[in-house]
Amino acid sequence: MKRDMKGYTGRILIVDLSTFGIREEEIPDRVYENLLSGIGLGAYFLYKHMPADADPLGPDNILGLLSGLLTGSGSLMTGRWMAVCKSPLTGGWGDANCGGTFAPAIKQCGYDAIFFKGISEKPVYLYADDDGAELRDAAHLWGKDAIETEDILRKECRKKKKPDVVVIGPAGEKLSLIAGISNSGGRIAARSGVGAVMGSKRLKAVVLNGSGRVGIQDREAMKAYSKEFAEKVKNANLPKFLKGALFPLLSMFMAGAKKSSTVDGMMSVMMTKKYGTASNNTMGLPNGDTPVKNWKG
C-alpha cells in the first residue's frame, strides 16, 4: 500500500531555534508499524536525538507536538494532539494530551509531528502552511495571555481560513513548572510542565494554516464505520435503574472492583455521555490514577 494511503505522511518537521534552521525528515514505515504515531513517535524521536542528561529547560531538550495515527482520516475521536519533552517537573519523560483542532492542522501541513530544539535569542513563533515553514518575530506577543495571543495570530495569519494556533501565556514565559500549552480558545495540554519547556525556548506560539488532505485506502468505508459508531454513541443511554439515586451504588461497586477490572465499552460511553470525564474518578480511585496525595490515590 502506498504511504500516502495509510493515514500518515511519514514526514516530520524539525525546527532548530538556536540557528533558525528548519528541515523535514522522513520516518521509516517500520517506526509507524511498531510504535504507531503520537506518543510512540515522540518517544522514538526523543530517545534517538536527545542526550540523557539534557537540562529540561536547556537547549538540548526537545519539545514535540504530534498528531495521532488516525488523525484527519475521518475516524471519530482521533483529533487529539500530544506534547512531549523531558519534564522539568520530574527530570524524566513528560507528555500532555489535548483536544481542539490543532492535531488535524499538523497533518494538513503535510507532517505527522513538529519537533523543536535549541533556544531562540528572542521571542518567536513558527508559521507553517502549504508553501513551507518559517520563524517569525513574537516580540509584540510576549507578555500577553494565551487567549489574547491566539486571537491576534488568527487575525494576523489568516488567509482563506483561520489558522490553528497553540500558544503559551505569561506562566510559560516565566518558566512556571505547572504551565501548559493552550489552543482552541482555552483547551490546555497541562501536564509535565510542557508550557515551561516551550517558554524556555522563547517559542511563543505555533501557527498552522495548511490545506492538505490525509490519504486513506478506503475513505467511504471509514465514513460508514464512523457513522455507525456515532449512531451507537448518540443512542446510548444509561438504563433507567442506573439513573438518579441508584447511580451512587454503581460508583460504590466500581470503587470496590479489583484493579484489573474493565468496564464494558458502551457502559463507559453512557457514563461519559451523561456525567462527563468526571465519571472516570470512580474507576481511577482504586487504581491510584487521581491527583490526590501526589498521585498516590
57-116 confidence digits (pLDDT tens): 999 999 999 999 989 888 888 889 999 999 999 999 999 999 999 999 999 999 999 999
Task: Give the tens place of pLDDT for each residue, 7-64.
Answer: 799 999 999 999 999 999 999 999 999 999 999 999 999 999 999 999 999 999 999 9
Q: In the predicted model, is pLDDT for residue 229 greater than 70?
A: yes
Residues 272 and 130 in one domain: no
- pLDDT computed for residue 216 by the predictor: 84
Q: Which range among 26-40, 111-125, 213-227 shows the weakest confidence by mean pLDDT?
A: 213-227
Residue 119 lies in a domain: yes
Residues 137 and 278 in one domain: no
Does the CA dihedral 142-148-149-153 come out positive or negative? negative
Residue 60 lies in a domain: yes
Q: In the predicted model, is pLDDT for residue 223 greater than 60?
A: yes
Once rounded to an integer, what is the mean pLDDT over residues 259-278? 66
- pLDDT computed for residue 250 by the predictor: 56
Q: In the predicted model, is pLDDT for residue 259 greater than 70?
A: no
Q: Find out whether 10 and 109 touch, Cβ atoms under 8 Å.
A: no
Residue 260 lies in a domain: yes
Confirm whether pTM is higher than 0.75. yes
Once rounded to an integer, what is the mean pLDDT over residues 218-246? 75
Residues 197 and 51 in one domain: yes
Residues 62 and 181 in one domain: yes
Distances (CA, A) of 48 to 21, 52, 64: 19, 10, 13
Residues 131 and 247 in one domain: no
CA-to-CA distance for 64 and 175, rounded, in angstroms?
17
Q: Find out whether 129 and 159 touch, Cβ atoms under 8 Å.
A: yes
> How many domains is the chain partitioned into structurally?
2
Once rounded to an integer, what is the mean pLDDT over residues 127-152? 98
Residues 243 and 204 in one domain: no
Residue 217 lies in a domain: no
Backbone angles phi, psi at 267, to 5 degrees: -65, -40
Residues 161 and 247 in one domain: no
Q: In the predicted model, is pLDDT for residue 1 greater than 80?
A: no
Residues 115 and 249 in one domain: no
Q: In the predicted model, is pLDDT for residue 226 greater than 60?
A: yes
Q: In the predicted model, is pLDDT for residue 156 greater than 80?
A: yes
Once rounded to an integer, what is the mean pLDDT over residues 264-281? 72
- pLDDT computed for residue 242 by the predictor: 55
CA-to-CA distance for 37 and 67, rounded, in angstroms?
7
Q: Residue 108 sits in a domain of what CATH number?
A: 3.60.9.10
Residue 216 lies in a domain: no
Once rounded to an integer, what is the mean pLDDT over residues 240-262? 52
Q: How large is the greatest C-alpha to C-alpha distance in the chain, in angstroms?
A: 63
Domain boundary pick from 153, 174, 209: 209
Residues 139 and 17 in one domain: yes
Q: Find out whether 144 and 151 touch, Cβ atoms under 8 Å.
A: no
Residues 204 and 258 in one domain: no
Residues 248 and 132 in one domain: no
Q: Which domain holds residue 77?
A: 3-209
- pLDDT computed for residue 253 by the predictor: 54
Residue 35 lies in a domain: yes
Residue 229 lies in a domain: no
Residues 181 and 70 in one domain: yes
Residue 219 lies in a domain: no
